[in-house]
Every structure is written in structure tokens, then in C-alpha cells.
């Protein structure tokens, strides 16, 4: 699963059934920081902490209860590795460099 930052800055959630990966992909380099500012904040080494509920809102499956449960379970599983914060409902993603 990844957040696509389109060349016009629009965000969308792609490959949403892939619960084994989560990243950010830019169509045009340099668009992520401004586009993601509304749903998160940049951190070190091309990583972003994103509001997990905002990520859910980007999904076409946000009203699919089974998919939403799988999403939250994915975040719970990666919390021990520092890629989510279930208390703050945040998820950490890296910006893929082309």
C-alpha cells in the first residue's frame, strides 16, 4: 500500500490490499512535503508521521469494515518496530526515492 502524491499534489491511497508495505510515492519529485503537510509531518531521513485516520479517508475502501479492521491490525503489528503509534493514531511511512 502506498500514498501516491500526484503531480498536481493530490493524494490517493494505492495498492490498498497490500497490508505488508506502506510508503509514499511521488509522481513528480518535490511534491510530497507540501501535499502531506495537511495529514502529517516530515521527520528524519525522508520519513513522515501521518494521521492514520487521514490515511483511511484517502482509501476507496474506507467504508469497508473488514478492510478498515485489517488496516488497524497492520498498524498494531508494526508498532513494536516504531512504524506506528496506536495511542496517537499515527503511521510512519518513508518517501520512496526514484
User: What's the confidence (pLDDT) of residue 45?
Assistant: 83
58 by DSSP, 3-state: which? helix
User: What's the confidence (pLDDT) of residue 91?
Assistant: 98
Q: Taking phi first (over 0 means left), then psi (-120 to 50 degrees means alpha), and beta for anything else, what does residue 45 get?
A: left
Mean pLDDT of 40-68: 95
User: What's the confidence (pLDDT) of residue 98?
Assistant: 59
Confirm whether pTM is higher than 0.85.
Answer: yes
Taking alpha carbons only, the member of 37, 79, 84, 39 closest to residue 59 is: 39
The CA-based angle 56-10-27, given to 5 degrees, is 110
For a pLDDT cut of 90, what percent of the chain falls above it?
A: 88
Residue of 98 and 33 predicted with greater confidence: 33
Amino acid at each position: 500500500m502506498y500514498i501516491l502524491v500526484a503531480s498536481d499534489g493530490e493524494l490517493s491511497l494505492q495498492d490498498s490490499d497490500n497490508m505488508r508495505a506502506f510508503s509514499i510515492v511521488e509522481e513528480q519529485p518535490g511534491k510530497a512535503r507540501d501535499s502531506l503537510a495537511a495529514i502529517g509531518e516530515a521527520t528524519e531521513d525522508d520519513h513522515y508521521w501521518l494521521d492514520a485516520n487521514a490515511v483511511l479517508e484517502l482509501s476507496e475502501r474506507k467504508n469497508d469494515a473488514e478492510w478498515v479492521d485489517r488496516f488497524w491490525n497492520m498498524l498494531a503489528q508494526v508498532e513494536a518496530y516504531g512504524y506506528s503509534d496506536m495511542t496517537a493514531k499515527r503511521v510512519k511511512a518513508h518517501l520512496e526515492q526514484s
